Amino acid sequence: MYEQVSHSLLNDILNNLKTEISKQDLRHFYTRLGANFYAIHSLFERLYGHRDDFKTQALRLVETMARQYIQRPDVYKEIDIERENNHNWFLSQKWVGMALYSNGFAGDLNGVREHLGYFQELGVNLAHIMPIMRCPEGHSDGGYAVSNFREVDSRIGSMEDLSKLADEMRLRDILLVLDVVVNHTSNEHEWAQKARAGDPVYQNYYYTFENRNVPDMFEQSMPEIFPENSPGNFTWDEEMERWVMTVFNNFQWDLNYSNPAVFIEMLDIILYWANKGADILRLDAVAFLWKKIGSTCQNEREAHLILQLLKDCCQVTAPGVLFIAEAIVAPFEVAKYFGEDAVIAKECEIAYNATFMALLWDAMATKNAKLLNQGIKSLPVKLERATWLNYARCHDDIGLGFDDSDIQLAGYEPAQHRKFLLDYYTGKFSDSYARGLPFGHNEKNGDARISGSLASLVGLQHALDEGNPQSTEAAVGSILLLHSMILSFGGIPLLYYGDELGQLNDYSYQEDPNKAGDSRWVHRPTINWDKAENRNMPGTVEYKIFSALKRMISVRKEIDVFADFNNRTLIEVENPHLFVFERYSLIKPSEQVLVIANFDGKPQHLDLSTVGRWATNKHARLVDLYSGFTPDIFKKTLVVAGFGFYWLSEVA
Ligand code: GLC
Ligand code: GLC
């Protein structure tokens, strides 16, 4: 019955499509629309079915998909078909990513194009170029406050530069990842300007209120995201003479997705960037898409419906394009962004593994893997055709978002443990060489997060200041250890630009009034390419890190069991300093790799006779795939160097 409703609506819509659309060759489009329309209709109905203009909005939705399909360049249409035929292509271990700001990395988009050889030198074949859309001079939140969704920010280039970059990347088989900031716009965006000028159509693109009644109700249950710089979730706009919801900074206005016009605009923008050559779109702050009084306004059911609908519509127009969910939320919530109730991901194919990231930093600080082991157990199994983005650092702060119950199970008191981590990374703890900075300190509840470059957090800055070779070795070892984890865990590893060279904190942001209040800028570096030449000079820190990562990446690409098919088993061992897991093949049971990481600075031992099938093979020869060497084994006891790791396999 229900399907008939959706079919008859589809017929109506197709009959009503403007003639310039219906004249085109839309065979593939119609096939995909037919296949997805039932789902699209059901979702659109659930979100907007109560409205009088539902049918008109549904027509607009289909028109948007059709128009963007017509505009989609043939080269991308061919890639769509290739990827439909090989739909698990992105689960392969061959992908290794890097996230970067184009200006910090190489000046602008042309600079990035000129440095594509650098990615290939290192083995990176997926580049997340951080927000490139137009944003205000000052209040930009690093590009996440967009003032025009269809233009490239002139400070980093033009649409033509982007197009040249995308073409060149495609020729080199490097995937392009672009951001679409779906949750909010800058207050300088045209929609916000019109809302300010009093246009009710555009005021309804946002959540605006004439007095505090509704905002006060929301505030009772909404946490604060940037408590230091932008306390509260609403901002009074003088010009509009209304309160507007601003969950992040006060110049970032939250979009109102209960208005279907907003949904359709954003779908159009997503497809627009798909047509500009993005292979993957990173959807920013997706947990926040739906606001409900009485809730935290995060992870609401409707936020998931919106993402499912965006995905279904994208499948019709640009099916080769994947979504990354940027949802830095609790472990049991994050897996839902792959889609629920479905074998195949129906929301975002890829999600940031913030849980693993934060747990790795816990292990680095505590020098043991107790919480890491416990926390990974709470990480839900993901769907098929879905994968994690595994990272150690990114452009944002490190949030200590572990479950309190996991902290307790690991043997700590949650509040004290979080305080310890904060003190440790901000260098207040006597035993710590970390040079992090606090971020987002909330005076009301004592919460805070951590900024700092990877190298400075693991003590490289301290070691170099002291001129201490041993500490330098330990810091380099820690950098490699963290990367060995994101490269082997299962998922797409995402390096952060500069980390491959041991980039330290950059304090220059403190001189810039637009940045000074936001410590995340300390880890958004400008690469010094002369210094980066050191990567070719044996003995330098840059060389040690870069050459090791280069090797790690190329070895990863050869290890089939590192592809992500839910083929990992965590192995709990007695030695608390060690984190151990096994990667195996679903097709060839004889293929396995045992990954062992030592988070302590001193050598640790592992009794191999306690490690499942690795115990029984008395005569087998073990080899560490990364170094190519046989590891140190004394009787059945394996020795793992301080901050060392192994990717062990058996050779006949
Ligand atoms: C393609 C292929 C995959 C390729 C990728 C990048 O559809 O299936 O092997 O490397 O997408 O274009
Ligand atoms: C995301 C971005 C972050 C930004 C926020 C608001 O979390 O990663 O940098 O501040 O969204 O757009």
**pLDDT tens for residues 350-382?**
999 999 999 999 999 999 999 999 999 988 888
Q: Which residues share a beta bridge with 624?
A: 648
pLDDT at 372: 98
Q: Which residues share a beta bridge with 9?
A: none
pLDDT at 1: 43
Find the domain containing 616 and state its range.
Answer: 566-651
Q: Of 233, 250, 352, which Cα lies nearest the Cα of 296?
A: 233
- 100, 141, 334: which to mutate for ligand 2, most atoms within 8 A of CB? 141
Query: Is residue 215 included in any domain, yes or no?
Result: no
Q: Encoding tokens for residue 570?
A: 């965590």
Query: Is residue 623 included in any domain, yes or no?
Result: yes
What's the rounded Cα separation, in Å, for the pair 162 and 225? 32
Mean pLDDT of all residues in 545-551: 98
pLDDT at 345: 64
Quick one: CA dihedral 200, 202, 203, 206, positive or negative? positive
Query: Is residue 583 included in any domain, yes or no?
Result: yes
Using the mean position of ligand 2's atoms as its centre, give its distance from the Cα of residue 17 in Å.
Answer: 38
Catalytic residue status for 188: no
Point out the domain boundary residue: 177, 192, 217.
Answer: 177
Query: Is residue 503 included in any domain, yes or no?
Result: no
Using the mean position of ligand 1's atoms as its centre, give its distance from the Cα of residue 270 in Å.
Answer: 21
Closest-lying ligand 2 atom to the alpha carbon of residue 249: 6
Judge if the beta carbon of residue 248 lies within 6 A of ligand 2: yes
| Type of residue found at 133 | M
Q: Closest-lying ligand to the alpha carbon of 99?
A: 2
Confidence of residue 25 (pLDDT cuts 50, 70, 90): confident
Judge if the beta carbon of residue 396 lies within 6 A of ligand 2: yes
Judge if the beta carbon of residue 79 lies within 6 A of ligand 1: yes
Q: Closest-lying ligand to the alpha carbon of 253?
A: 2
Taking CB atoms within 8 Å and a gap of at least 24, the contacts of 374-378 are 374/406, 374/409, 374/410, 375/331, 375/402, 375/403, 375/406, 375/410, 376/570, 377/570, 378/331, 378/332, 378/403, 378/406
Query: Is residue 102 included in any domain, yes or no?
Result: yes
Q: What is the CATH number of the domain that holds 624?
A: 2.60.40.1180
Q: What is the largest CA-CA distance in the chain?
A: 79
Answer yes or no: is pLDDT of 336 > 90. Answer: yes
Answer yes or no: is pLDDT of 306 > 60. Answer: yes
Tokens 């233009």 sit at which residue? Answer: 151
Confidence of residue 445 (pLDDT cuts 50, 70, 90): confident
What's the rounded Cα separation, in Å, for the pair 149 and 179? 10
Confidence of residue 9 (pLDDT cuts 50, 70, 90): confident
Segment 176-218, tens digit of pLDDT:
999 999 999 999 999 999 999 999 999 999 999 999 999 999 9
- Kindly give, in sequence order, each residue whose CB lies less than 8 Å from that of residue 451, ignoring residues fewer than 6 positions away: 397, 398, 436, 437, 438, 439, 519, 520, 522, 523
Judge if the beta carbon of residue 191 lies within 6 A of ligand 2: no
Mean of the per-residue pLDDT values for the chain?
95
Confidence of residue 404 (pLDDT cuts 50, 70, 90): very high
Point out the domain boundary residue: 177, 204, 236.
Answer: 177
Query: Is residue 224 included in any domain, yes or no?
Result: no
Judge if the beta carbon of residue 89 lies within 6 A of ligand 1: yes
Answer yes or no: is pLDDT of 618 > 70. Answer: no
Segment 567-612, tens digit of pLDDT:
999 999 999 999 999 999 998 888 999 999 999 999 999 999 889 8
pLDDT at 331: 87
CB atoms within 10 A of CB 593: 22
Q: Are strands 633-634 and 252-254 parallel, antiparallel or unpaired?
A: unpaired
Using the mean position of ligand 2's atoms as its centre, give its distance from the Cα of residue 517 in Å.
Answer: 15
Tokens 């959706």 sit at which residue? Answer: 6
Helix (H, G, I), strand (E, B) or coil at 437: strand
Segment 212-263, tens digit of pLDDT:
999 999 999 999 999 988 999 999 999 999 999 999 999 999 999 999 999 9
Q: Whose CA is nearest to atom 7 of ligand 2?
A: 285
Reported pTM? 0.96
Active-site residue, selected from the candidate residues 284, 347, 499, 500: 284
Answer yes or no: is pLDDT of 335 > 80. Answer: yes
Confidence of residue 348 (pLDDT cuts 50, 70, 90): very high
Mean pLDDT of all residues in 315-344: 91
Mean pLDDT of all residues in 259-288: 98
Query: Is residue 588 included in any domain, yes or no?
Result: yes
Point out the domain boundary residue: 150, 177, 204.
Answer: 177
Mean pLDDT of all residues in 135-153: 97
Q: Whose CA is nearest to atom 11 of ligand 2?
A: 285
* Counted domains in the chain: 2
Q: What is the CATH number of the domain that holds 160?
A: 3.30.750.90
pLDDT at 275: 98
- 100, 101, 140, 248: which to mutate for ligand 2, most atoms within 8 A of CB? 248
Segment 116-132, tens digit of pLDDT:
999 999 999 999 999 99
Using the mean position of ligand 2's atoms as its centre, give its distance from the Cα of residue 192 in Å.
Answer: 19
Q: Please give, one letter per residue, the 3-state secondary structure of 230-282.
A: CCCCEEEECCCCEEEECCCCCCEEEECCCCHHHHHHHHHHHHHHHHCCCCEEE
Closest-lying ligand 1 atom to the alpha carbon of residue 86: 8
Judge if the beta carbon of residue 352 lies within 6 A of ligand 2: no
Q: Closest-lying ligand to the alpha carbon of 166?
A: 1
Active-site residue, selected from the candidate residues 108, 141, 326, 582: 326
